[in-house]
Amino acid sequence: MASVTWAPLASLLLLLLLVPGVPSQTRSRCYSQLHQKSQLTKPVCSQPVYDWCSSCDSARRCQTRTECFALWRPQQVSPVTVRLFYEALCPPSRFFMSMVLFPTWALLGDNVMDITLVPFGNAQETEVNGTWEFTCQHGELECELNMAQTCVLYLLGRQFPNAFAVINCMTSAADPETSLEPCLKIYAPQISVDDVMKCVTGPQGKEMMHQNAMMTNHLSPPHTFIPWILVEESRLENPAELLNTVCHLYKGEVPDACRRNTFSRK
């Protein structure tokens, strides 16, 4: 077969559809080999089109380096979604947050876990004179803490790691009532207690808490206890299985934390 100097469009499409990927451990060797100085004699391609990217040598011989690099490039993998419906003073919620969810997220990171926190739980809301009022299972303090944590999530916006760290700090504190200020100073010094309280006492906080109520009250099937944990929209029956469940569902390369915890992918 004559050396390949160009590839017809149809052949390239066939290449992308049919050719198997090269194992990740081979890619680094491919990059170094394919970027070596060209030899004086042109390489001869003897492979059929579906084998052009089967190895580094085939890509070099068939002069399909650009196409093969695009094929071997790791694809984006969506993180596993985890939604936690909880209450700020609920003992099981506090335990799961501080002893299971936060440590698991710290091990795996944002690339593997996409976490949504919804503080409301078994609270009740009523509309009074055009504004929302809330009653919480563990009293008025819980309503204030639910709102404060909701406002932390709002004020920090895309800085979820900082917001999650603040909320976990508050949840795991011996005295959650006084935890907001020290937790902000440690994990989110860019916002103050005054910033949070302005949100808590203003219309923005009530509106966001109403959104939390809507998400909680429209769960299907409805929640029967708190914390209510959804992983990829399916209820996690055993909270202790969060790490193994996320590791099993994640479609990307198995994280080191999964391997260290004797997880084996089927």
Maximum distance among all Cα pairs of the chain, rounded to whole angstroms: 85
State the pLDDT at residue 71.
Answer: 65
How confident is the chain (266 residues) per 10-residue block, as mean pLDDT? 42 43 51 47 67 76 75 75 97 97 94 96 90 92 96 93 96 95 96 96 93 96 96 96 94 86 54
- Angle, vertex CA 32, rays to CA 27 and CA 34, nearest 5: 90
State the pLDDT at residue 171.
Answer: 96
State the pLDDT at residue 213.
Answer: 96
Give the model confidence (pLDDT) of 27-67 as tens digits: 555 545 544 544 445 567 876 766 677 777 777 788 887 77
pTM over 0.95? The answer is no
State the pLDDT at residue 9.
Answer: 44
The Cα 117–Cα 135 span in angstroms is 19
What is the radius of gyration, based on Cα positions, of the chain? 26
CATH superfamily of 80-259: Glutaredoxin (3.40.30.10)
Residue 244 and residue 261 in contact, taking contact as beta carbons nearer than 8 Å: yes
DSSP string of 175-203, one letter each residue: -GGG-HHHHHHHH-TTS-HHHHHHHHHSH
Query: Per-domain residue ranges for the chain?
Result: 9-72, 80-259
Give the model confidence (pLDDT) of 152-169 as tens digits: 999 998 899 999 999 999
